[in-house]
Amino acid sequence: MKQIDLTIDGTPVTVAEGTTVFDAARIHGISIPVLCHQQNERPAGVCRVCSVDCGEKVLQASCVRPAENGMKVQTDSEKVRKARRMIVELLMSDHPSPCARQRHSGDCELETIAKAEGIGAPRFAKRISPRGQDDSSLVISVDHEACILCDRCIRGCDEIRHNNVLGRGGKGYGAGIAFDLNLPMGNSSCVSCGECMVSCPTGALTNKSVVRTVLPNGVPVAVEELKQLPYFQNVSGTFLELNANAVIKRHFKAGEIICREGDYGSTAFFILEGKVEIFLSTPMAHVSTDGGASGFIRKLTSRLTGADRQKPDRDRPRSISIDASVDLAYDNPVAELGEGDLFGEMTCMSMYPRSATVRASTDCVMLEMLRNVLDVIQRNKTLREKLEANYRKRALDDHLRTVPLFSSLSPEFIESLASKAELVRLSNGDVICRQGEVADAFYLVRIGFVKITEEHPGGDLVLAYLGKGGYFGEIGLLANGLRTATVTALDHVELVRIDGADFMEMLTRFPAIARELTAVAREREQQNSRHMAAVTGISLDSFLTQGLMESNSLLLIDLDKCTRCDNCVRACADAHDGVTRLIREGLRFDNYLVATSCRQCRDPLCMVGCPVGSIRRRNSLEIVIEDWCVGCGLCAQNCPYGNINMHPFEVMVKDLAQPGGQKAVVKPKATSCDLCADHAEPSCVYACPHDAAHRVEPNQFFKVYAETKIAERDSPATVRDLTAAKQTGTIARSPHPRDPRSAH
C-alpha cells in the first residue's frame, strides 16, 4: 500500500494511503478533541470539533479528511482552538447543562470538552422553541434538548446493529433524531438493543435507572450468559450491565408453584428449561341466582354450586384467556408451557394480577424479569417471531372464532387470515383508530385493554373496554369504510392486525357474512341515533354531576313510598346465596335514593384489568362476573361507586400437596348486581311491597321525570308518580340488545 508522508504539529508522520488526518494524528499520539466520531463507527464529520488546519483556505474536519503527501497539519494553533471553542460554545448554549449523563456519571462528552476548553456561560441565548423529551421507551430515556446531532446513535442503530430505526428528521435548526416515522421511541420498531444509548456522547439517550431493585430468590445472570441467549444476542453489553438487576435466573423443582392466580406481581417469566403446568386453581364457582323465596335452602347448597350448575349461557366462551401464549379450555382449564415460552407479560407490563397459577411439572430453569428487560426481549426480532408463531398456533384461531361472524368461516380461510395477521404493540394513550378516519384494518386484542368511545357533542361516550380476545374494526370496514368510533390503548397493548384488504376478501368469498355485518351496522346506527336523541333531550345538572348519566341502569327507591322494610335487601340476599348485593344507601336525587348497587355503567371501569376477562358485558347490557373469577379483587378496586364486593366462598379444591386429595379452602369471588338476569324482574324490585323500588334506564326515566316536572310546574295537579314512567315502558331492564364487544 502507498505510504503518505505529512507533518502534524511539526512532527513528520507516515501513514498508509486513505488514513484520515484524525487517525494519522492518533496513531502518533496526538489526540484531537471530537464529539461525533468514535472508533467503531464510520466518520460523519458533522460536529466539526476536530477541525484542523491543513494549510488550505478553510479548516478541515480531521475525521473525514484523508491525509495527503506533504500536508502540514496544525491541530492546536490559535486559529484551530478559536474555531473549536466557538463550536463547543454554540453547542453548550443549547445544552441543558448538567444533562442527565453529567448528573449521573459526570462524563457527558460535550460538557467535558467545554470544561477542558474553559468555556463558561455561553454568550448566546438559549434555544426558545423546545425540542422536548421522550419517555415512551421502557428502557431508554430520550432528551432531545441534550442532543447535539452527532449522528453516533444513528450510525449505531443503522450501521452497527442494522436495526434501521433511527435517522435524522426535520431540517436545519429544527433537525433532530427520529425513530421510524418520527414516532415516540417506545412506539417505534426499536428493539431496545441499547446501541444508540451506548453511542450517545451526552445525556440525550440514557438508561432509565428506574430499576434499582434486585429481584429476590434468584441468581443474577452474567452479561456473557445473557448474550449467549438468542434473544439478547444483539443487545449492547453495556446496556445489559446497566439492567443487570432486572433479570435473574430461577430454578424450580418439579411440583413447585411459580406464581399464583390473583397475586399482584411485576415480573414475567421466560422458560429456559423444563415444562410447567398453567391452570386455574379456583374452581368454576358461581353464585346461583335460582333462588327467590327458597333462599335459605339455596344458601345451604351454594358452596357446592360449580360450573356444572351454570345455566346454559348465551355466549359463554369456549376458552378462558390468560396471561400466556395459550388459552385455557373452559371445561378443563389446564395447559402446558415449555422451553421458550413466556408468561406473565400483562402482569409485568401493566401490573395486573396474575391470571393463573403456574406449577413446575418438571425441574425448570426460568428467567424472571422486570418490564424493562421484558421489553428488550419482546422487541427482539427472533423472539417476536417465536411469540407470534406461538400465538398464531395456540390462541389466534380461538380468538378469531370468538368473533361470531367468523365462526362460519372455513378453517382454511381462518388459517390464511391468521397467516397474514400482524402483531402491533402500543402503549397507554395511543389511539389505534379515530372516528371518521378511513378504516383499514380489523383488530384482535392479544394483550392489554383498549377503550372504545364514540365522539358526541358534549363529550365522548365509552362503548366498551376490550381485553384479551376482544375484537374491533369490522364495522368500520363496512360502514362506508370510515371508523365509527375511536379506539384507544389503556395500557401496554398488543393487537393482531388483519389488513382491510384481507378482510374484504373474506366478505367477497363469504357473502353471508357481509350481509350479516351490514345488518349489524345498520342496527347500531339506529340505536345510536335513538340513544343520542335521548341524551340530548335532557339537561339536569345534579343528575349529571352525580355521574348518573353515565349509567345504563339505576336502582331507584322512591323515598315517598319506601317504608324502610328492607324486603329488597333480603330478597337480594335470598337470590344470591345469602349475600346481598344491594345496600339501601347512597346518593339522593330529589325524592329518590340511588341505591348502592351496580349501575351497569356506560363506562364500566371495573372491566379494565380483569386478568382472566371474567367480568364483562353480555349482549344485553348487564355486567356479569363469570364463574372463572380468580378473586383478585381488581374490579372491586376499580369500581368508583363501591358496588362490587369480594365475598369469601368455601370451596373444595384439588390438594396440590397431596396428589388426588381434596381440601376445603376459602376463595374470594367478586360479586355485583347481575340484575337477576335469569328472572323476569330483579328480585329487589319484585319483592318491594310498596312499589318503591325500580330499575330504570336513566335517560328515559329522566326524560319522563323532566316532563313530569315541567307539567307539574305548569299544572300542579299532575300526578307525580313513577307509574308515568312505567307506562312508557322504561322500568326495569329495558331491552337494549347492543353487543358492546362489537364495534367500529
Partner 1 sequence: MIFDELRAIQHKHGYLPAEPLRALSKQLDVPLYRINGVAEFYPEFHTSPPPKLRIEVCRDMACHLRGADRLIADLRQRFLPLGKQVVEVHERSCLGQCDCAPALTINEILFRNVNVRQAEILVQTGLAGLEMSKQSAARPAIELKSDPYPGIQRYGALRQLFETRDWDGVISTLKAAGLGGMGGAGFPTSIKWDVVKKAPGPDKYLVVNADESEPGTFKDRFIMTHLPHLVIEGAIIGALVTGAKTGYIYIRHEYREQEAILREELEYCRSEGLLGDHILGSDLAFHLDVFVSPGGYICGEGSAQLEAIEGKRAEPRHKPPNSATHGLWMKPTVLNNVETFANVPQILARGVEWFKSQGNHEAASGLKFVAVSGDVQRPGVFEIPMGLPLSDVVFGLAGGPRDGRKIKAFSPSGAASGYQPASKLDTRLDFKSMSAAGTMLGSGAIVVLDDSRCILDMALNSVTFFRNESCGKCVPCRVGSAKMTDVLTGWTRGKGVAADLELIADLSETMKQTSICGLGQFVPYPILTALQNFREEIEAHILHAKCPAGVCPMRGHGMVR
Binding site for partner 1 (CB under 8 A): 45-49, 51, 58-59, 61, 64-66, 79, 82-83, 86-87, 90-91, 93-94, 123-125, 127-128, 148-149, 158, 164-175, 178-182, 189, 440
Reported residue count of the chain is 744
Q: Least CB distance from residue 483 to partner 1, whole Å? A: 13
Residue placing its CB nearer to partner 1 in the complex, 181 or 719:
181
Query: Nearest distance from residue 36's CB to partner 1, in Å?
Result: 9
Nearest Cα neighbor of 53 from 81, 28, 33 is 81
What is the DSSP annotation of 583-642?
A: EEEEEEETTEEEEES---BSS-GGGTT-TT--EEE-SSS-EEE-TT-----HHHHH-TTS
Query: What is the maximum span of the chain, computed from C-alpha positions, in angstroms?
Result: 113
Give me the least distance between CB of 37 and partner 1, in Å please. Answer: 12
Which of 46/139 has CB closer to partner 1? 46
Nearer to partner 1, 4 or 373 (CB): 4
Min CB(351)–partner 1 separation in Å: 30
Cα 600-486-610 angle, rounded to 5 deg: 45
**How remote is the C-alpha of 157 from its chain's centroid?**
26
Burial of 566 (0-12, 13-18, 19+ CB in 10 A): middle
Instruction: For partner 1, give the closer residue by CB, 51 or 305.
Output: 51
CB of 178 to partner 1, least distance (A): 6
DSSP for residue 139: S
CB nearer to partner 1: pick between 167 and 306: 167
Q: Cβ–Cβ contacts within 10 Å for residue 224, how many?
A: 9
Q: What is the DSSP string of 361-418?
A: SS-EEEEEE-HHHHHHHHT-HHHHHHHHHHHIIIIIHHHHHHSGGGGGS-HHHHHHHH
Q: Which is nearer to partner 1, 47 or 582 (CB)?
A: 47
Smallest distance, partner 1 to C-beta of residue 34, A: 12
Angle separating helix axes 511-537 and 500-509, nearest 10 degrees? 120
- Cα 529 to its chain centre, rounded Å, is 31
Nearer residue to partner 1 within complex by CB, 125 or 680? 125
H or E element in which residue 151 lies:
none
Q: What angle do CA 436, 442, 445 make, to 5 degrees?
A: 110
In whole angstroms, the minimum distance from the beta carbon of 48 to partner 1 comes to 4
- Which is closer to partner 1, CB of 205 or CB of 569? 205
Q: Are 594 and 546 in contact (CB under 8 A)?
A: yes
- How near is the Cβ of 202 to partner 1 at its closest, in Å? 13
Decide whether 181 or 254 has the Cβ nearer to partner 1.
Answer: 181
Cell of 102: 453529567
Quote the least distance from Cβ 175 to partner 1, whole Å. 4
Cell of 483: 371508523
